[in-house]
Chain A
Amino acid sequence: MDVVVCIKQVVDPELPVRDFAIDPSTRRQVREGRPLVISTYDEHALEVGLQLKDRHGGTVKALTIGPRAAVGDAVRLALAMGADEAVVVDDPRGPDLPGVEKAAVLAAAVRKLGRADLVLTGCESADWVERVVPPLVAEALGASCVTFVSTAEFSGNGLVVRRLADDGFHVVDVRLPAVLSIASDDANRPRLPKVKDIVAAKRKPVHVWAMADVPVTSGDRRVRAPEVQGVTIPERTAKCELLSGDPAEQVATLVQRLRALKLL
Chain B
Amino acid sequence: MPALLIVATVFDAGLARSSLELVGAARPIAAGLRLDLTAVVLGPGPGLAEAAEVLHRHGVGKIWRAAHSLLTSGQTDALLPVVEQAARTAAPQVVMVSADTVGRELAPRLAYRLGASLISEAVEVGTDGHAVVAKRQVYGGRAVAEEAAASWPVVVSVKPRTTDVPEPWPVAGSVEDLVVSLDEASLATRVREVRREQADVGLEDAQVVVGGGRGLGGADGFKTIGELAAALGGAVGASRPPADSGWVPINWQIGQTGKTIRPALYIAVGISGATQHVAGVTGSRTIVAINRDPEAPIFSLAHFGLVGDYREIVPLLTAKVRELKGA
Contact = CB atoms under 8 A, between A and B. Distances in A.
Are A and B interaction partners?
yes
B144 A20 contact: no
A250 B101 contact: no
Contacts of A29: 139, 143
Contact of A223 (B108, B145, B246): B108
Interface string B273-305: 011100000100011110000100101111111
Contact of A20 (B108, B117, B139, B307): B139
- The bracket for how many chain B residues form the interface is 35 or more
Contacts of B100: 166
Contact of B317 (A14, A189, A254): A254
Contact of A255 (B192, B195, B317): B317
Chain A interface size range: 35 or more
A258 B104 CA distance: 38
A263 B207 CA distance: 10
A9 interface: no
Contacts of B197: 167-169
B105 interface: yes
Nearest to A248: B316
Interface string B163-195: 000000000000000000000000011111111
Contacts of B111: 136, 222-223
B118 A250 contact: no
A136 B108 contact: yes
B116 A172 contact: no
B190 A124 contact: no
Given A240-B303, A250-B313, A173 B276 contact: no
A148 B308 contact: no
Contacts of B256: 124, 129
Nearest to B288: A254
A130 B121 contact: yes
A224 interface: yes
A172 B75 CA distance: 9
A53 interface: no
Contacts of B307: 242, 250
Contact of A148 (B73, B240, B257): B257
B115 interface: yes
A229 interface: yes
Indicate the member of B105, B108, B287 with the most A CB atoms within 10 Å: B108
Instruction: Give the dominant DSSP class at B's interface.
Output: mixed
Most buried by A among B191, B208, B287, B289: B191
B162 interface: no
A242 B317 contact: no
A186 B245 CA distance: 5
Contacts, number: 266
A123 B73 CA distance: 20
B99 to A, nearest CB: 8
A158 B194 CA distance: 19
Contacts of B306: 242-243, 247, 250-251, 254
A139 interface: yes
Given A250-B308, A252-B320, A175 B188 contact: yes
A126 B151 CA distance: 27
Contact of A185 (B194, B208, B244, B301): B244
Contacts of B294: 242
B226 interface: no
A257 interface: yes
Given A171-B193, A185-B244, A139 B113 contact: yes
B1 to A, nearest CB: 23
Interface stretch (B26-34, B37-45, B51-59, B130-138): B130-138
Interface stretch (A112-120, A191-199, A200-208, A230-238): A230-238
B136 A147 contact: no
A138 interface: yes
Given A14-B275, A168-B197, A234 B144 contact: yes
A16 B194 CA distance: 40
B104 A148 contact: yes
21 contacts: A126-B275, A130-B120, A131-B108, A135-B104, A139-B113, A145-B188, A165-B74, A167-B197, A171-B194, A184-B244, A222-B112, A224-B118, A231-B144, A240-B299, A240-B305, A242-B305, A247-B309, A250-B306, A254-B288, A257-B304, A258-B288
